[in-house]
Every structure is written in C-alpha cells, then in structure tokens.
C-alpha cells in the first residue's frame, strides 16, 4: 500500500492504494466518485474518461499510483457550481438517452472546448470519437455541442 | 475489473536512478510511460512484472528537439504532443499523419510513440513512418548508450531487440538532404478507431528515390528494398505501380485473422501502396517542403 | 381533436439533468457498505460436454473466500416462456463460457484468484454450431429433457429433436398462388448473430437477509418479470413472491439484453448461500458478448410469386433459427417472426415455417427488432430484386402490395390503421427517389435503396401495465409505474401524459425507475409496448385522479360535475368563469366545509391496462383464428450510399426514415429513436461481425474487434419523419416505435449497394471486405 494524494474536483484528497489498483476503481470504490463508468476495461469505450491535468484520459488504463500529485476533474466537479453551458446545451437538446456514456462524452467535449471554443463539426466528431454511445447515433450530441459554439 | 496480480511500483526522478533500478531488477521489471498497453497487458495477465518502473518523472525524456541534423523525440512524448508539434509536421509529416490515426484522442493524450514501438504489436502505427525515415532508436543502460536503426529494432510480434536492463531515451529521425514527402495509409474496418489490419508508409524524394514500409502483413513491420529498387529503376507511374502490386504477392505474407482475411489484406496492401504513392507524389509537388532540411 | 398542451411537445427529458450532471446512479454506482461480497463466475471451456467432477477445495482455501457454489446447490430450472435454463450448469454445459460455479469472496481480486483454482473435469460431447446441422437426423440432442420442460401454450416443441418450437402459418392456397405467378424468386438469406452492446454491463447485487427477505438491485428492463422468475425458481427454498423485491436503478442501455432474466439470477441464488451479506455479480465486456443473450442467427429460404405488375400471389418463408443453447426467451422471437414473416404486405396465400433450433452457441434472446430485422433482410432484398427484374420501380412495387387497414394479416386478423402509404410517399420525396445520384469521383459507385418495415409487440395476450398516481401537498405529482427508462424516454412520456390530463406542468411531475415493492405491476419494458400499454395505464390513473378531484369539488361546491374541468392546475367551471380552485389547496388536505369539517383526503389515481381482445388460441397447424398481436407499427426508409470500388468501403450519404408512431407524444424523443436506431442498423449491416472458432468460442468479445460505430462513422445526413395515423386504443393514438427504427436499415443498404455495384449480397454483414472480395471475384476491380 502506498499513500498518494491528489486534487480531486478541487479538493486535496489522500488515499492508500496498491500498485495494482486501477484509477477508475479507486475513484469509484474508494473515493465515492461514481460518474466515471466502466464499459470495456480496455480503453475502447471512453466511459471512464476523466480530466487529468487538463487532458481527457482513460482512467481504466491508469494505475492509481501514477496520479500522485496531479489534478483530476470528473463530472461531479464540473457540475459543482451548476450545469456548465455545455451540459445545459446537451440537456436542452435531449442529446443523451440512457446517459451511461454521458460523463465520459461530456468531459471529452469539455477538453475540446477548453482548448478550442469554436470547433468545427469535424473537430467535434474527432474529439468524441473515442466515446462509444449505442443509443443516440451521436448526431444529437454533436448538434448540441455545435449549438453551443455558435451561441458564443 | 480488479487486477488479481501483485507487483511493486517505483517512480525514479532521474535517469540514473531509473537505470539503477533497471539494472537491479532486469527482466523482472517493466517500464511504464503512458501505460495504455502496459495496463491492458497486466490486466490480461500478460507480462506481469515484479516491479513497475514509472519513468514519467524523467524530465529529460519529454522533449521534441531539432538538433545535429536530426529530429529527436523523447520517450515520454505522447501522440497528442506529436499531433501538436510543428517540428514533427515540418520534418516528419507522415508521423504526424499516422499519429492522428492512433486509437482515439483520449488514448493519444496518454500513449507515447516510444511505448508504441516498445510494445511492438505488429499493427502499430508508428513503425512505418519511422522505417521510411531511417529513424534511430537510442537505448541507455548503466553500460552506456546503444543506437539501433529502427529497421533492426523489431525482432518478432511484441518483441524488440531491447535489452532487459535498457530503456529507450528517444528516437532520432535524420533530417533529409533532399526534398521529400511522405504518406501513410491504414487499413481499418471503419473510419473510427481501429487497429491496423495492414498499413503502408511511403516517403518519396525529389531525386526519384522512394522508401516503402509495410506493417501488419507479417510478424514485424518492414521496409521493402525490392519495391524501392523497382521504383528507383522505373519511377513511380501507373505502369510501375501495377507491376509493384504484382510483385507484392511475393513480398508480403499477410495472414487471416479476426480482423481480415489474407486475401483482403493482400489486396488492400496494393491499394494502399498505390494511394500512398499518389498522395506522397502530390505532396512532393507542393511548394512548401514537407519533410527535409530548410 | 382536443387541443393538447403537453402531449406532442418536445419536452426536455425528466431524467436529463441527472444524466448530464453525473448524478444518475446505475446499479454498480450504488453503495452497499463494507460488508459487500463479490462473486466471480467459473466458466466452462467446452461448447458441449458432460461435467464429470467439480473440485472446489483449492479455491476454498484462498484467503478471503467465503464459499463456492455450483449447480448442485440449485437444481432448479427457469425461463420466461419455456423452463429450459438452469441457474448454474447441471450435468452438462451447452455453450462455451457457460457458468459452472461461483466463488464468493471479500474482494473481487480474491474471488478472481480463487475462481481460477476451481477444477472441473469434462467429458466432451458432439457439439453443434449450426442450426442446419442440428436438424439432421443423426444430430445429438442438446436438450434430451425437452419434452418435460414447461412452456407457454403457444409453443410446439418437437420431442427428441433439437427443434424447441415450430410456428406454422398456412393461409389461402399457396400452390395455386405460385401457379398464378408470372415470376417466382426463390433464394436463401443468412443473418448471423449480433450482440446488443449496451455500454453498461449487466450488474446485480442481491441480499438475502436474516428475515428471509431477498432484495435484488439489477440493471434491468424487467423488474417484475425478474421478481416472478426469481420467486418461481427459488420456490423450493421457501421463497415467495412477496419475499422478493427487485429495485432497478438507471439502466445504461438495454436493447433487449436486460429483458427477462439472465445473469441476475446468479446474484439472487448466491445470496441465499451467504445470508445477511449483500453480494455483487458484475459482468464484464467479454461476458456481455457470450453470456447474456445474443440476437439469434437465421437462415431464411424465401419463395415469392408475383404477377407481371408486381402484385404478390404467394409467399413461402422457411426460417431456420440458430437459437443457441437455451431458448426460454428466444423461442418467442421465432414465434413472432412466424406470425409476421409476410412483412407489411397484402399476401393472400402464405405459408411460413419458423423453426427454433437448439445449437451449442450462446443463448439467443430478445434484441431490438425481435426477429423482424432478420426476416426483413431477405424479404426486402427480394422485393427490390423482383422489382428490378420486372422493370417496376422499387417504390412502386411496394405501393402496389402495401398492407392497408382491414387487410388480413398472416394469421387472419385484421390489420390496424396505418400510415404506410404516407410513409412511402414522404420518404420517396425526401430522398428524391426519381433523381439520379452522382459519384463524387472515379473510384466511387453510388446507389439508392428502399425498404419498408413493420413490427408488432410480441407479448403474452394478457400482458398488462398499471399505474398509481399520487398528489403531494403542493399539487406536485409522483407517478408510480414499473416500466423502465432504458434511454428511450419512457419516464418523460409518462409524465407528459399525466400532465396532459391533469394540467399540472411537467416540472411538478416526478416519475422514476421502479422498486417492485412500491410500484405496481408492469410485465416488462420490451416489445416497444410501454408508451402504448403503460401510457394507457398512466392516462387512466390520471383520469381517475381527475375524476376524484372533480367529484370532490362538485359535492363540496354544489356545482354540477359536468360543468367542471381542469386548466393550468386549477378546477374551473364552464358556467361560472370566475370560479377557480387550485389543486394545491385541497389534493392532500381536502376541502373545508362551512361547519369546519373537511371532505376529501389525498387524491390517488389508479390505472390498469390489458388488451382484452388479444388471444393466442388458434389452430396450431395454420395459426388461423387468433389475435396474437395487438397491432403493427409500420414505416418506410431509403438510403443513398457511395462505395469505394477499390476497398469496398461504404459511405452512407443520406438516410430518410418515416415511422408511423400513431401520435408522437414527444417528437424530439421519437426523432432520437430514429437517429439512434438507424446507426445501430447501419452497424449490423456494415461493421459488426461475431467470430467463433471451431470450438464454439467467440473470438472477438470486445470493442477492439467487434466494431460498433463511433462519431466518425455516421451517415452524412439523417432525416427522421414522423407519421401520425392514430392507433385506436393507444394513449392519444400513440403506438410504439423504438425497436422499429433499425429494422429497415440492413435491407435498404444491401439494396443500395446492389444498385451501386450490381452486386447482390445475401449474407450479413456486408463488410467492406465482403464487398471488395466479391468485386475481385467478378474481376471488376484490382
């Protein structure tokens, strides 16, 4: 067991982990942060996406010990002060159906918009291309992100 | 999905410390950079080490530099950084192109190019670009530096010539004297993320030379000297491409697996070769030098 | 028609905010405290084998392991329509990966470690991986006990064979019909198995407490059916229905995979062996593929006779279903198709033989479309081929044969009202059917394809839905139903219906996924029936509440009841425009009389809906005489594709789909179903492909090699069209449409590819590789 500490949604947190513990599982089962989901455990689906030091990454492919001293944002953090304009647009457009892919999808889009407030449709598709959704056919999600970039 | 295998973890902060750990633990250790392959393999019980050595603390491995007539890409440079790097776009455009086809953005934000060639899975995207550019792999151990041409780096599927006590510090790509342009083609089941069922890299030079490399059509990615000689002798034109595709039947040995049949792989290798040659030719005509020295 | 204020509006989903904020909790997100145990499943590495010995002794020694359970602990069979399934394998395994045992431990890692130490010995048996092999005379029997299995009365198992059910249609005079035909096309189509690929895994947590209460939290489309099946299966242990409680949180996608009972029963059963502790069973991506349900595969031989003008004279459809190792649910897919394999056409002379065949592959079961995608691949390919052969426009041939209200279905009941013609016309116009499409470059070929579709809910005739509706002090409402929101928007639609009746705004209506102890009965969220069935129950409950409200106001205010109505959350009176009593003033605490006493009390509505006209009673030799399907939902679709002639890669340029949903209670959600269903359909025809080896082991149970589309794999344009020809017994005329949207996609893409390349592919999937190799064979490319 190793004690690590990192910033989770703006709060400094400490936790004891074994080297074989995956970040996704530590977040979910040891720290009570449930929005990152498991959908493949192999980096294919993007449901476990979190923002690590500003980048959207797969928390199922990271050992928890690796993030010592770093900063993690999950959807809980993004929602802390109410819905972001991105979340609001997705809500109003009924962009999601079952909602299981939503946390990962939103964080991938959030990373894109943080770096590029006015992306093209192609850039939007590229940014969320690692987040699998089986319900929506993606178009409503893309349209919602697009509507937001036009509004700005 | 919990991992039932146990191992230790160290994160050295200097290259010297990392090399000492490697020297002490040798084959019983594994290096961890982006980890996108390592985490998956350990979860599947494949190559589970006694000690995981996280090298992300080694600042000297994070840079992309152009010095001494070469482009140097550090072992910790991720594919997202490659995509954002002007020197790489300018000097090794084909690598920029291939990097954009590696997995998905969330994986590219973490995965490294050096990790890719160290995992050495036959379908890797980095190999063909590095092969056509005659890249060099720089390994370090307590014994010193060893430089391996990338053409000799791959030994078998998932196997390289790296020693158990070595780590790769960086890859260097010589800047070309002659104007040149590359193109990468990847055979995928759809437009979204996929592992290459086959891939082709081509680098064409203004003086008529042409480098060609294939991936995923054999256990290791390879240059094709026969095709390169053929194009040098006959130039790149519709007739020489037809002939090259005929030659291909004897030059590559694709297999049938869950991703594609050998027949389709063979056909696609020819189509991709043709398309890569044409695309590289178009780029070569553009006024801006796409790869090579100013 | 009355003016509607809530129904027909594209309201924002009632569960939307939960889902975009990360607040939505799915089964594995629930907390069960430090006493939670974990079960890891031991699987069999044979497609068909006798189990000769199970040695659990080494596994039991692993620190942290509490117990190991096997089939011996639960010698019970269960199933939805036929009891042919077992909690754990009994004497034999019937598919590769079947569950043999479970190790229960304090941590997932310990359970996993110990599961690898369970030693099982097998004696392999001949395995059958193809339905046609399974019906050979000398085929070994996969279920020697078939004749003893309990099943619903509308199934006809063939004892001592591998045929678990045979649905037969005999209508009119088929021989005469073929004799009268000017052209007969006879061909065979193959549609393989597919996986649902909901992104959330199956998950179940169960606790059997010391009072004998069994609670199961599960990701489920069928909480009440699960309760029923758990209680029935575990009845020998003294467990009754009211001992069992199923709680269903949000579901991360279902598509049929989480209907009925699959792995959830493992949690329920295991919990009885670790009394007092909650125990979690989590599936992973691999098991999602090979040990839940798969969509059934089918080999379909189709013979269709037509006159010169394209009118159908006779149809013969033989369907050989690869139903897998257990068919307790899948056999009803076979049945549904047997009843409906004439497609949305007027066919006077029809014979259909739909065979449910056991194989040693994973159990086949419900999957969005319930068999209709599979048989329509052949039928709609056939229609296009016949049209081209006769020189008739493919849209025109469909117009000439399209079924109309009052025409007789295959089983002789009357077809319900439908907007099929409007759908055909709307699609043909939007896709510009009569205009040529042009390739973008020399390497591209372009083509157009058309397809109709239909589907009926496949349900027992006594399927029912029910609803409680209760007011709170501020006249906000809780609707209690047991349908599941699996993403389709069920809860939102129920709230809109209640809002319509009671004129209470949507923002004041709460409706959530159920708990079988608290919420009234619903059969299952399957068959695209809940908007219709449960929608009726909610409407009745809301009307019941409205009736109580108006009664109370009438008797306390001395106003005739028939002059009272609800508007904007108040009771108003047609003869006294100034009269207004707000609901929040009395729906809980009643209305005070001049003497200080009160009348009324909490207003609670109740609604029950069962289609009392449905029956499966019919002649088993012909299927004539019953009314097994309540109604059909129909529609039309068309696609334009561009094919890279050198690689075979297909790009979908445009898809138009029109569906007659009777009434779009929430048009945005209807369009969402169309857009999503189309991509799922595209995926089955172009990308997804299960690979099995000679042992019956699935080789690609992962998203690395079983490819479902990403955001980079969309059609350039999707145009959803809503047609509204009311269903007489639907709430506001609505009928279901969720599954239907993917049904036409495979045949219309196949038709468009044929149009582009002159290449008819009769086996799915139609991958780039398959197209390219076929073109190479024709020597048309290099």
- State the CATH number of the domain containing residue B257: 3.30.390.50
The residue among A25, A53, A75 that closes a domain is A75
Q: What is the pLDDT of residue B293?
A: 43
Residue owning tokens 């041939």: C397
Per-residue pLDDT tens over the stretch B118-163: 999 999 999 999 999 999 999 999 999 999 999 999 999 999 999 9
Q: Does A80 reside within a domain?
A: no
Spatial distance between the Cα atoms of C341 and C335, rounded to a whole number of angstroms? 10
Pairing assessment for the beta strands B198-205 and C465-471 based on DSSP bridges: unpaired
The CA–CA distances, whole Å, from C317 to A79, C186, C314 equal: 55, 10, 10
**CA quadruple C312, C314, C316, C317: dihedral sign:** positive
Instruction: Write the residue in C21, C669, C679 that is nearest to A87 by C-beta.
Output: C21
Cβ neighbours of residue B144 under 8 Å, at least 6 residues apart? none
Instruction: Write the residue in A19, A46, A62 that is nearest to B104 by C-beta.
Output: A46
Alpha helices in C489-647 (DSSP H): 490-502, 530-557
C60 is written with which tokens? 């039991």
- Cβ–Cβ under 8 Å, residues C713 and C302: no
Average pLDDT per block of 10 residues along chain A, 152 residues long: 97 98 98 98 98 98 98 98 97 98 98 96 98 98 93 50
Q: Which of the residues A59, A61, A99, A128 would you substitute to probe the C interface, choosing the one with the greatest number of C C-beta atoms within 10 Å?
A: A99
Contacts of C642 in chain B (CB under 8 A): none
Packing angle of the helix pair A139-151, A85-92 (nearest 10 deg):
130
Spatial distance between the Cα atoms of B222 and C282, rounded to a whole number of angstroms? 43
Q: What domains does chain C contain, in order, with CATH numbers?
A: 16-23+464-609 (3.30.365.10), 33-125+207-281 (3.90.1170.50), 294-459+616-777 (3.30.365.10)
Q: Do A41 and C675 touch (CB under 8 A)?
A: no
User: How many domains does chain A divide into?
Assistant: 2
Pick left, alpha or beta for residue C64 (phi over 0 → left; psi -120 to 50 → alpha; otherwise beta): left
Residue B4's closest CA among C65, C107, A1?
Answer: C107
B163 is written with which tokens? 């020693």
Provide the CATH number for the domain around residue B106.
3.30.465.10
Does residue B153 sit in the same domain as residue B237?
Answer: no
Mean pLDDT of the C1-12 span: 90
Spatial distance between the Cα atoms of C662 and C482, rounded to a whole number of angstroms? 23
Please name the residues between 230 and 259 in chain B that touch chain C, using a CB distance below 8 Å.
245, 258-259
Q: Using 50, 70 and 90 to split pLDDT, how confident is the model at B1?
A: confident
Contacts of B191 in chain C (CB under 8 A): 710, 712-713
Residue of chain B nearest A67, judged by CA positions = B56
C160 is written with which tokens? 């001592």
Mean pLDDT of the C222-239 span: 97
Helix (H) or strand (E) holding C265: helix C264-271
Mean pLDDT of the C270-299 span: 98
Pairing assessment for the beta strands C278-282 and C203-208 based on DSSP bridges: antiparallel
Does residue B38 sit in the same domain as residue B105?
Answer: no
Tell me if chain C has a CB within 8 Å of the CB of A135.
yes
Cβ neighbours of residue A86 under 8 Å, at least 6 residues apart? A106, A109, A110, A113, A145, A148
Q: Which subunits sit against A, judged by 3+ Cβ pairs under 8 A? A: B, C
Q: Does B27 reside within a domain?
A: yes
The residue among A54, A75, A96 that closes a domain is A75
Q: How many CB atoms lie within 10 A of CB C529?
A: 27
User: How many domains does chain B divide into?
Assistant: 3
Per-residue pLDDT tens over the stretch B64-86: 999 999 999 999 999 999 999 99
Does residue A19 sit in the same domain as residue A57?
Answer: yes
Spatial distance between the Cα atoms of C463 and C527, rounded to a whole number of angstroms? 11
Spatial distance between the Cα atoms of C625 and C619, rounded to a whole number of angstroms? 7
Residue B274 structural domain: 195-285
**How far is CA B146 from its chain centroid?**
19
Contacts of C28 in chain B (CB under 8 A): none
Q: Is the pLDDT of residue B290 over 60?
A: no
Q: CA of B257, closest CA in chain C: separation in Å?
A: 10
Spatial distance between the Cα atoms of C89 and C80, rounded to a whole number of angstroms? 18
Does residue B88 sit in the same domain as residue B44?
Answer: no
Classify residue A72 by its DSSP letter.
E
Per-residue pLDDT tens over the stretch C574-622: 999 999 999 999 999 999 999 999 999 999 999 999 999 999 999 999 9
Pairing assessment for the beta strands B159-160 and B167-174 based on DSSP bridges: unpaired
**How far is CA C777 from its chain centroid?**
39
Q: Does A94 reside within a domain?
A: yes
Put simply, whether the predicted model's pTM sits higher than 0.95 gets the answer yes
Q: CA of A91, closest CA in chain B: separation in Å?
A: 23
Residue A116 structural domain: 85-151
Does residue B222 sit in the same domain as residue B158?
Answer: no
Q: How many CB atoms lie within 10 A of CB C24?
A: 24
Per-residue pLDDT tens over the stretch B271-283: 999 999 999 999 9
Mean pLDDT of the C686-698 span: 98
Provide the CATH number for the domain around residue B21.
3.30.43
The residue among A75, A99, A124 that closes a domain is A75
Does residue B75 sit in the same domain as residue B168?
Answer: yes
Per-residue pLDDT tens over the stretch C124-138: 999 999 999 999 999
Does residue B104 sit in the same domain as residue B208?
Answer: no
Does residue A7 sit in the same domain as residue A58?
Answer: yes
Does residue B260 sit in the same domain as residue B218?
Answer: yes
Q: CA of A14, closest CA in chain C: separation in Å?
A: 19
Q: Is the pLDDT of residue B289 over 80?
A: no
Q: What is the pLDDT of residue B292?
A: 45
Residue of chain C nearest A47, judged by CA positions = C199
Does residue A37 sit in the same domain as residue A91?
Answer: no
Does residue A66 sit in the same domain as residue A101?
Answer: no
Q: Do A74 and C200 touch (CB under 8 A)?
A: no
Mean pLDDT of the C494-502 span: 98
Cβ neighbours of residue C186 under 8 Å, at least 6 residues apart? C301, C302, C303, C304
Q: Is C442 exposed, middle or buried (0-12, 13-18, 19+ CB in 10 A)?
A: exposed
Does residue B122 sit in the same domain as residue B160?
Answer: yes
How long a stretch of residues is chain B? 294
Q: Check if the interface score ipTM surpasses 0.90.
A: yes
Q: What is the pLDDT of residue B288?
A: 64
Tell me if chain C has a CB within 8 Å of the CB of A49.
no
Mean pLDDT of the B91-107 span: 98
Q: Using 50, 70 and 90 to split pLDDT, how confident is the model at B294?
A: very low
Q: Does B181 reside within a domain?
A: no
Q: Which subunits sit against B, judged by 3+ Cβ pairs under 8 A? A: A, C
Does residue A33 sit in the same domain as residue A63?
Answer: yes
Helix (H) or strand (E) holding B205: strand B198-205
The per-residue DSSP string of C666-699 comes to SHHHHHHHHHHHHHHHHHHHHT----B-TTS-BS
Helix (H) or strand (E) holding C591: strand C591-592
Provide the CATH number for the domain around residue A114.
1.10.150.120
Q: Do A134 and C198 touch (CB under 8 A)?
A: yes
C575 is written with which tokens? 């003869």
Contacts of B264 in chain C (CB under 8 A): 769, 772-773
Helix (H) or strand (E) holding B169: strand B167-174
Q: Using 50, 70 and 90 to split pLDDT, how confident is the model at C2?
A: low
Does residue A21 sit in the same domain as residue A67?
Answer: yes
Provide the CATH number for the domain around residue A20.
3.10.20.30
């Amino acid at each position: 067991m190793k004690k690590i500490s990192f910033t989770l949604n703006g709060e400094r947190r400490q936790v004891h982990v074994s080297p074989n513990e995956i970040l996704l599982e530590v977040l979910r089962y040891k720290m009570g942060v449930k929005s990152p989901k498991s959908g493949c455990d192999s980096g294919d689906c993007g449901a476990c996406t979190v923002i690590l030091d500003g980048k959207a990454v797969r928390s199922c492919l990271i050992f928890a010990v690796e993030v010592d001293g770093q900063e993690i944002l999950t959807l809980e953090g993004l929602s802390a002060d109410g819905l972001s304009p991105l979340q609001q647009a997705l809500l109003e457009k009924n962009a999601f159906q079952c909602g299981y892919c939503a946390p990962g999808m939103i964080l991938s889009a959030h990373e894109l918009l943080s770096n590029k407030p006015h992306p093209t449709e192609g850039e939007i598709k590229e940014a969320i291309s690692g987040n699998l959704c089986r319900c929506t056919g993606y178009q409503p999600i893309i349209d919602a992100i697009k509507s937001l970039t036009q509004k700005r | 999905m919990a991992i039932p295998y146990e191992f230790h973890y160290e994160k050295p902060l200097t290259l010297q410390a990392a090399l000492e750990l490697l020297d002490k633990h040798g084959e019983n250790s594994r290096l961890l950079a982006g980890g996108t392959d390592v985490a998956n393999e350990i979860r599947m019980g494949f190559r589970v080490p006694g000690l995981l050595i996280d090298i992300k603390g080694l600042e000297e491995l994070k840079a992309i530099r152009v010095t001494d007539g070469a482009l140097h890409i550090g072992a910790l440079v991720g594919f997202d950084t490659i995509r954002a790097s002007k020197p790489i776009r300018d000097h090794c455009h084909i690598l920029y192109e291939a990097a954009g086809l590696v997995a998905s953005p969330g994986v590219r934000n973490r995965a490294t190019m050096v990790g890719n060639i160290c995992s050495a899975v036959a379908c890797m995207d980095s190999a063909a670009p590095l092969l056509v550019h005659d890249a060099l792999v720089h390994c370090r151990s307590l014994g010193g530096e060893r430089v391996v041409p990338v053409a000799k780096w791959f030994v078998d599927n998932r196997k390289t010539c790296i020693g158990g006590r070595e780590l790769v510090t960086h890859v260097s790509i010589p800047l070309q004297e002659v104007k040149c342009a590359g193109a990468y083609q990847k055979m995928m089941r759809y437009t979204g993320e996929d592992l290459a069922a086959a891939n082709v890299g081509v680098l064409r030079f203004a003086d008529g030379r042409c480098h060609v490399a294939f991936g995923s059509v054999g256990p290791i990615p390879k240059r094709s000297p026969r095709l390169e000689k053929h194009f040098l002798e006959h130039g790149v034109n519709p007739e020489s491409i037809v002939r090259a595709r005929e030659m291909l039947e004897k030059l590559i040995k694709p297999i049938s697996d869950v991703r594609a049949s050998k027949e389709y792989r063979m056909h696609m290798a020819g189509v991709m070769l043709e398309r890569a040659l044409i695309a590289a030719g178009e780029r070569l005509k553009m006024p801006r030098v796409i790869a090579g020295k100013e | 028609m009355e003016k509607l204020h809530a129904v027909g509006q594209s309201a924002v989903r009632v569960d939307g905010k939960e889902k975009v904020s990360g607040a939505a909790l799915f089964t594995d997100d629930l907390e069960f405290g430090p006493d939670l145990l974990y079960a890891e499943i031991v699987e069999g590495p044979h497609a068909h084998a006798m189990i000769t010995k199970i040695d659990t002794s080494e596994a039991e020694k692993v620190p942290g392991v509490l117990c190991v359970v096997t089939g011996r602990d639960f010698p019970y069979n269960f199933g939805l329509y036929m009891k042919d399934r077992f909690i754990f394998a009994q004497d034999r395994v019937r598919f590769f990966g079947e569950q043999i045992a479970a190790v229960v431990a304090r941590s997932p890692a310990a359970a996993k470690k110990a599961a690898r130490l369970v030693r099982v010995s097998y004696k392999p048996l001949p395995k059958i991986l193809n339905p046609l092999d399974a019906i050979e005379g000398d085929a070994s029997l996969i279920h020697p006990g078939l004749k003893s299995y309990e099943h619903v009365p509308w199934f006809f198992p063939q004892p001592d064979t591998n045929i678990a059910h045979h649905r037969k249609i005999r209508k009119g005079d088929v021989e005469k019909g073929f004799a009268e035909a000017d052209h007969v096309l006879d061909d065979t189509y193959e549609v393989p198995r597919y996986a649902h690929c909901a992104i959330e895994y199956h998950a179940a947590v169960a606790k059997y407490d010391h009072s004998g209460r069994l609670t199961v939290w599960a990701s489920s489309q069928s909480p009440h059916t699960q309760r029923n099946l758990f209680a029935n299966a575990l009845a020998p242990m003294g467990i009754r229905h009211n001992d069992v409680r199923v709680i269903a949180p949000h579901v991360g996608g279902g598509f049929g995979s989480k209907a009925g009972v699959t792995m959830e029963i493992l949690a329920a059963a295991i919990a009885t062996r670790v009394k007092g502790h909650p125990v979690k069973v989590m599936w992973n991506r691999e098991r999602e593929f090979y040990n839940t349900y798969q969509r059934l595969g089918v080999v379909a031989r189709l013979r269709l006779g037509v006159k010169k003008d394209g009118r159908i004279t006779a149809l013969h459809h033989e369907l050989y279903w690869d139903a897998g190792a257990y068919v307790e649910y899948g056999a009803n897919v076979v049945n549904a198709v047997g009843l409906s394999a004439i497609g949305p056409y007027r066919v006077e002379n029809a014979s259909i033989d739909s065979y449910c065949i056991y194989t040693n592959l994973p159990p086949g079961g419900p999957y969005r479309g319930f068999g209709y995608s599979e048989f329509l691949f052949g039928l709609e390919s056939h229609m296009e081929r016949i049209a081209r052969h006769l020189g008739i426009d493919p849209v025109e041939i469909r117009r000439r044969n399209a079924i109309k209200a009052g025409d007789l279905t295959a089983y002789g009941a009357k077809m319900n009202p439908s907007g099929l013609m409007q759908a055909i016309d709307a699609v043909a116009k939007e896709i510009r059917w009569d205009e040529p499409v042009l390739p973008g470059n020399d390497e591209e070929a372009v083509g157009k394809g058309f397809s109709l579709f239909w589907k009926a809910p496949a349900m027992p005739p006594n399927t029912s839905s029910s609803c409680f509706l209760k007011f709170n002090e501020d006249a906000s409402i809780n609707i209690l139903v047991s349908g599941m929101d699996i993403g389709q928007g069920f809860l939102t639609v129920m709230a809109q219906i209640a809002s319509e009746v009671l004129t209470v705004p949507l923002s004041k209506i709460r409706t959530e996924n159920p708990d079988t102890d608290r919420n009234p009965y619903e059969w299952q969220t399957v068959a695209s029936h809940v908007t219709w069935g449960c929608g009726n129950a909610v409407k009745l409950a809301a009307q019941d509440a409205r009736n109580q409200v108006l009664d109370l106001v009438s008797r306390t205010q001395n106003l005739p009841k028939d002059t009272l109505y609800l508007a904007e959350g108040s009771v108003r009176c047609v003869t006294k425009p100034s009269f207004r009593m707000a609901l929040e003033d009395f729906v809980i605490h009643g209305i005070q009389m001049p003497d200080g006493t009160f009348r009324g009390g909490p207003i609670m509505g109740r609604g029950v809906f069962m289609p009392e006209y449905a029956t499966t009673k019919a002649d088993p030799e012909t299927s004539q005489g019953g009314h097994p399907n309540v109604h059909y939902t129909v529609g039309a679709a068309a696609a334009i594709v561009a094919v890279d002639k050198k690689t075979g890669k297909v790009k979908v340029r445009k898809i138009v789909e029109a569906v007659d949903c009777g009434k779009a209670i929430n048009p945005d959600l209807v369009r969402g179903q169309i857009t999503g269903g189309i991509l799922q359909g595209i995926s089955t025809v172009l990308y997804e492909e299960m690979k099995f080896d000679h042992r019956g082991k699935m080789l690609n149970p992962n998203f690395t090699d079983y490819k479902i589309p990403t955001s980079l794999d969309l059609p350039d344009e999707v145009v959803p069209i809503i047609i509204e020809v009311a269903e007489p017994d639907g709430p506001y005329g609505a009928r279901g449409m969720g599954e239907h949207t993917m049904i036409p996609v495979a045949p219309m893409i196949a038709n468009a590819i044929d149009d582009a390349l002159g290449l008819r592919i009769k086996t799915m999937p139609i991958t780039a590789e398959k197209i390219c190799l076929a073109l190479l064979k024709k020597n048309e490319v290099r």
